[in-house]
């Protein structure tokens, strides 16, 4: 009897390459759909090795900073408009509370009087009552401290501190206490285009 061999056939599904649109912007090749930078339009790798190359970079840095400032200005204007609208609604809301809260509390209190509930529910909100504890606040610290020194000086709090500028002249050469943090000085590079700054 001849043996029958089972043959498995692998089916490979070809994946179509995802279509993408590549654009050129400021010498860079950018995938429009994702914003990914995939290269440059320069025939050779770009390096800052001359004044012209440095200015090419700085010009584009300044352009991006200008775009950011413009967007922030637009955002600030929109937010200011919304803030004004919110403030207007808050004033109207405060007016409603000032005009009607007392009457709402009086009416709701009369309705639930004698019941075990502490609130009255309606379709548009709840009128309720909460037990609150009284609070105390010192309005005049100078007078309060003077009184405490006469009655019970131990309750007066004294805050002590030392300025590092006063400590440094008192240290011996090479002395570096563990309670002082020292950051070495040095040159630190920076790039600025003065966009959005006064000259």
Instruction: Pick the more confident residue, 132 or 71.
Output: 71
User: What is the reported pLDDT for 3?
Assistant: 44
User: What is the reported pLDDT for 42?
Assistant: 62
CB contact at 8 A, 38 and 28:
no
What whole-number distance in Å separates Cα of residue 85 and Cα of residue 76? 14
User: What is the reported pLDDT for 125?
Assistant: 92
Does 100 score more than 70 pLDDT? yes
Quickly list DSSP for the chain: -PPPPP---PPPPPPPPPP--EEEETTEEEETTT--EEEESSSS-----SHHHHHHHHHHHHHHHHHHHHHHHHHHHHHHHHHHHHHHHHHHHHHHHHHHHHHHHHHHHHHHTTSS-SEEEETTEEEE----------S-HHHHHHHHHHH-GGG--------HHHHGGGSPTT---TT---------------TTS--
Question: pTM of this prediction?
Answer: 0.49
User: What is the reported pLDDT for 2?
Assistant: 44
- Assigned token pair, 91: 């004033």
Which tens digit of pLDDT belongs to each residue from 46-90? 788 899 989 988 998 999 899 999 999 999 999 999 999 999 999
Quickly list DSSP for 184-197: -----------TTS
Average pLDDT for 134-153: 91
Instruction: Pick the more confident residue, 191 or 105.
Output: 105
Sign of CA dihedral 41, 47, 48, 53: negative
User: What is the reported pLDDT for 18?
Assistant: 65
Instruction: Pick the more confident residue, 140 or 13.
Output: 140
Q: How far is CA 109 from CA 48, 63, 105, 122, 149, in A?
A: 78, 65, 6, 14, 47
Which tens digit of pLDDT belongs to each residue from 15-46? 455 678 887 776 777 887 887 887 766 656 77
Does 94 score more than 50 pLDDT? yes
Does 4 score more than 60 pLDDT? no
CB contact at 8 A, 149 and 156:
yes
Task: Share the mean pLDDT of the chain.
Answer: 83
Quickly list DSSP for 114-157: TSS-SEEEETTEEEE----------S-HHHHHHHHHHH-GGG--
């Amino acid at each position: 009897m001849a043996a029958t061999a089972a043959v498995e056939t692998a089916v490979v599904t070809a994946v179509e390459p995802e279509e993408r649109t590549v654009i050129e912007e400021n010498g860079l090749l950018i995938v429009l759909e994702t914003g990914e930078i995939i290269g440059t339009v320069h025939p050779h790798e770009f390096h800052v090795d001359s004044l012209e190359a440095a200015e090419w970079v700085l010009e584009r840095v300044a352009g991006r900073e200008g775009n950011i400032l413009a967007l922030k200005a637009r955002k600030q204007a929109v937010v200011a408009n919304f803030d004004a609208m919110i403030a207007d609604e808050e004033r109207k809301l405060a007016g409603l509370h000032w005009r009607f809260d007392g009457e709402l509390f009086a009416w709701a209190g009369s309705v639930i009087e004698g019941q075990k509930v502490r609130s009255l529910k309606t379709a548009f909100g709840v009128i309720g009552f909460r037990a609150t504890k009284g609070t105390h606040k010192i309005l005049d610290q100078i007078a309060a401290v003077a009184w405490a020194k006469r009655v019970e000086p131990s309750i007066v709090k004294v805050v002590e501190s030392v300025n590092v500028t006063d400590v440094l002249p008192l240290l011996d050469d090479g002395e570096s206490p563990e309670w002082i943090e020292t950051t070495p000085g040095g040159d630190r590079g920076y790039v600025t285009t003065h966009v959005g700054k006064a000259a």
